[in-house]
Structure 1
Amino acid sequence: MTEISEVPEDLTQPDGMFGKILREFGLQWTNIAVLSGVLFSTFGLEKYMNSGVWTISAVTSFCVAYFFRRQITGEFPRVAMLSGLAALLLLGGPLLYYLHRGADIGDLIAGHRNLSTTYLACSLVIPLAVAIVAYRRQEQELGGSVPVVIRQALNAAVISAAFYRENQIYMVTVASMGDGKVTLRTALTYTVRNRRKDPQQWYGSFVSPAAETRYVRVAIDGREIDVTDPDYLSPRGLRVSRTIQGRSGLKVEFEAEEDFRASDSELFTAYAPTDSLALMVENPYADSLRFHFETLYPVKADPETDGQIVSCRIDTGLLPFQGFRLHWSPIT
């Protein structure tokens, strides 16, 4: 006896482009058709609208949203609000207009049954489809659902942050070495920008874990401050503050000398949302001291050498505490 395997045909999805588009929204033709039929029969809408036209219009609306999906952002709350407002205007505008003219809305819709069905379906489904695309893009950008505490941390560190940095550069020079220690001269420059429209109070600091730190220079927008002024000194380092006007920025420059052990490491990271970060090391003791760049970032950045200067750069945006750990040790 020959055994015949029966493979049921998939009658729920049509082949071709429309089936693919509906699957992007987690829908099938039958979902829309059955839901339309149930709603029309339950609320007695057959007199006013055509369920077949509604189904075709709904599918077309999903197609429109799908074709423009790359132009829809992942800012779901904003897109959902605008989509709801668009649906309200599209439905409420004509309704108020004809009510003002004293027209019988029921008779008007029934008299233009197919046209009214098309307009109502598109006015409701297109905003809904756009909101669905925005939600799915948001989930894709965030990597799917995460615990609430992680979302709160992301919001506190990045989304709600009043400031971000531009073109942050660390220039590290080996000033001297010997007696089991290395002296590094570090110059840090960046532009800090106020994201908000109102003035915000900004605080900047240079905190060093080194055994001994000597502050050489601090300048804010080209104006130097007295690094020996007690008002700028804190138990953990140097701290400055300025008011930054809305949607504007200022240039920050720190320079210090730090004494480390001959074999040690130090963090050189963003500490705030930053568009780019560069770490440059000038090593006149290349025959006696070697450096290694550890990338604290999802994508490794490879160092480049130009004479005595070795540099690493990340130009793809950084979150707080992303960047580099610089390791060094004597050559034996």
Structure 2
Amino acid sequence: MTSSSASSVSEVEDPIGAELDAEISSLKSQISTLKSQRALQARHILSSHTTHAILSRLRASKPAPPSSSSNPTSSGPPDVSPLLQTSSQQLAHNQENLYRACASITTFPIQDPDPNAVDHGKVLGIRIDVSSLGRFARPYYVMLNKPCVGEDVLRVHRHTIPPCIPVAALAARYLPIAKGAGEEGGAKGARKQNLGKFIRALRREIVAYHNRTTVIKSLRRDFKLDEDREKRGKGKGKEKEKIIADISAADAEAKQVRIEWVDGKIGRCVVGESGMVEKCVVIGEQGRDWEVERRILGGDKGDASMRGIGERLREGIY
């Protein structure tokens, strides 16, 4: 009797506890959002040139500190130096972000400490900045040197580019080095190198890779694939039926996306350099699902962008 009554009480309390947990989670989310908005508004106010000018005038017009003979209880104007320092730091941060956004490719010289390094250790460093979801990713670096004496021929010395980016293929295309370069007459007739095209093509590959991985992450978030089952069950009200079991990259470059449905269908999409879905195959128990393939490839709207896959997958289901 005691065990049955305790189990019945726990069954009654479970829905109430789940509802309270959901409300607490919602309140915590609202508090976090409000704190982020407050910090954003404070940064906007402090980074304003008008605010900086007002704080500078207030500090300039501040009277000298009172002597020891004066009334110690008299209160003067507040010290605005901390606010002015924070405003200057925010302005410098905004300027840095603006520079990284507009001048996403920068060069700088490097001195190789190795005494036996080619070209007396002179290395050309190139920094590539990429932003994703409103944030700057860790910069990528490419270091070039001149292996041939007396020749303005560059080669990739070191780099921090992900392995999925074809750095060697791009270097062979835009920075070709002829056999026997540096020897007398060895480089005659060789194709000219184009450092500008090499860096632009390399950055284009990096940006496309980040865009594809970002879209995959956003799709997983939209379909709540990374949430625990317990968190899904604590939500209030009826949720939409889950139709997608998994969305992931099928290769290292994220040019192929694998989609797995709850009912067992498996699809694979090929994404081009422009971010459009070029090919798609969906196979289920009854063979190929032409309707879902047509929907993913844009359907009647003709929009086959990778970012719109989530909306197109929901068409005809919800």
Taking structure 1 as the reference length, what is the TM-score of the superposition? 0.29
- Using the size of structure 2 for normalisation, the TM-score is 0.30
- Between Structure 1 and Structure 2, the one with more helix by share is 2
Larger CA Rg, structure 1 vs 2? 1
Structure 1 or 2: more strand by fraction: 1
The higher relative CO (CA closer than 8 Å, separation ≥ 6) is in 1
